[in-house]
Amino acid sequence: MAKTVQTERILLVDDSKALSKLIMLKVKNELGLEIDIAYSLAEAELFTKKYTYTLSIIDLNLPDAPHGEIVDAMLKKHIPAIVLTGSVDKEFRKEILKKDIIDYVHKGGLDDIDYVIDIIKRLLKNRAHKVMVVDDSSIFRNQMKKMVENLFFRVYALAHGEEALLIMEQNPDIKIIITDYNMPVMDGLELTKAVRKRYTKNQLSVFVLSSTEDLEVSAMLLKHGANDFINKPFSKEEFSCRLNNAIEALENIDALTNYSKRDFLTGLYNQRYFMTLMENRFTGSRAEEEFVTAVIEIDDEKYLYETYGEEIGNGIVIQTSEVIRSCIDYRDLFGRFETGEFILVLVDHTRESAMELLEHIRQKISVIPFSIGEEEVALSVSIGAVFHPEDTLNDTINEADSALVQAKASGGNTLYVA
């Protein structure tokens, strides 16, 4: 029996019906999440008995909880809370911020509601990222761990730099390291230097924390690769903003880097990046490795574009790429060179297994029609393959191209092996 997938839910607790409706619409329209509205602490308690919540948005002044009792009620149930309040009492605000809430937002207008929506978007993205906290003080380490977990990151909390480097070996996808400067064995500076031997600032962000008042220390750390330096003590809000800004910057860099490597239509490697990857196989440590290079071209691609138009033609290219991608292994290299032409490099294959796979791709494409309204268009591809790499990358691709010409000359929908 298939399991029912539950939509994530947010609990909004606020006695203002107009504001609650506005937030509900924004959560549903912009986040696609379910949201339940409670107008009192008692109603919130009833909802939490029925549903599991990703987080809560709560007002501090409720009819049956006028002094922020809702905060402790949510935290007791392990429901992360964003406080949205009209209170301007600074001392009360300080007391609330001492609790393990996500953020404290003054509801002064529509911009503040938009800010809350942006926070939630950021939190949901943060769940995909790993953060490492390194501090020899168990008390401070646990405090930092909790603060970072409140931002929905996956957190590793470690006591010293050497242990941190070991965990990094096992988790190369860690995105942020938060380290104390003064630590035994390996301090924050040495850890930063070691990290920068493996990762650039655009790949991994390093935050160094310290209670020192020596300005030369912060300059030294920044010069040796730290992305940011924060003096202790610091405010939770400032720290959260800096951390969220850091991960967002890394995401933007990743997106731009990925965009420069990918074909805009199919998401496959583009020709320039594919050639770079393949050149390494001819000049690097894997130069002696054998692989199979295949050029795959959609038959009558020009006719299909001229007959059905660019939108349908692009759809055919996308569908063809997805069929091929579904047949290959993650280690194989797959790229798009021209409109309807793809290049595929198969690794760890015998001649027989490679021919079997390429023939499977050809047959699979030929039996999956492309639908255009009520009409179905039969598709096919021609494949030219070379099994023993030539002396250079260009020679290898030219040999595969020659095999493709032979496949097309025989009428298309054919696999030809050089």
277-282: long-range contacts (C-beta < 8 A, 24 or more apart)?
277/333, 278/333, 278/345, 278/393, 279/393, 281/389, 281/393, 282/389, 282/392, 282/393
According to the model, what pLDDT value does residue 102 have?
A: 95
According to the model, what pLDDT value does residue 5 have?
A: 44
CB 23 within 8 A of CB 55: no
* Structural domains for the chain: 9-123 (3.40.50.2300), 127-257 (3.40.50.2300), 271-417 (3.30.70.270)
According to the model, what pLDDT value does residue 287 have?
A: 55
CB 365 within 8 A of CB 380: yes
According to the model, what pLDDT value does residue 233 have?
A: 87
CB 406 within 8 A of CB 416: yes
In single-letter form, the type of residue at position 308 comes to Y
Rg from Cα positions in the chain: 28
pLDDT by 10s per residue, the chain, length 418: 344 446 799 999 999 999 999 999 999 999 999 999 999 999 999 999 999 999 999 999 999 999 999 999 999 999 999 999 887 788 888 899 999 999 999 887 889 999 999 999 999 999 999 999 999 999 999 999 999 999 999 999 999 899 999 999 999 999 999 999 999 889 999 999 999 999 999 999 999 999 887 778 889 999 999 999 999 888 899 999 999 999 999 999 998 888 889 998 999 999 999 998 888 777 754 556 678 999 999 999 999 999 999 999 999 999 999 999 999 998 899 999 988 999 999 988 888 999 999 999 999 999 988 888 778 889 999 999 998 777 788 889 999 999 999 999 999 999 999 8
- Which of 20, 85, 84, 79 shows the shortest CA–CA distance to 53? 79
> What are the residues whose beta carbons fall under 8 Å from the beta carbon of 28, sequence distance 6 or more?
34, 35
Residue 267 Ramachandran class (φ > 0 left, ψ -120 to 50 alpha, else beta)? left
Q: Is the pTM of this model over 0.75?
A: no
Q: How far is the CA of 328 from the CAs of 86, 116, 264, 377, 389, in angstroms?
A: 57, 43, 21, 24, 20
Which SS3 state, helix, strand or coil, does residue 295 take?
Answer: strand
According to the model, what pLDDT value does residue 9 have?
A: 95
- Which of 128, 133, 151 shows the shortest CA–CA distance to 237? 151
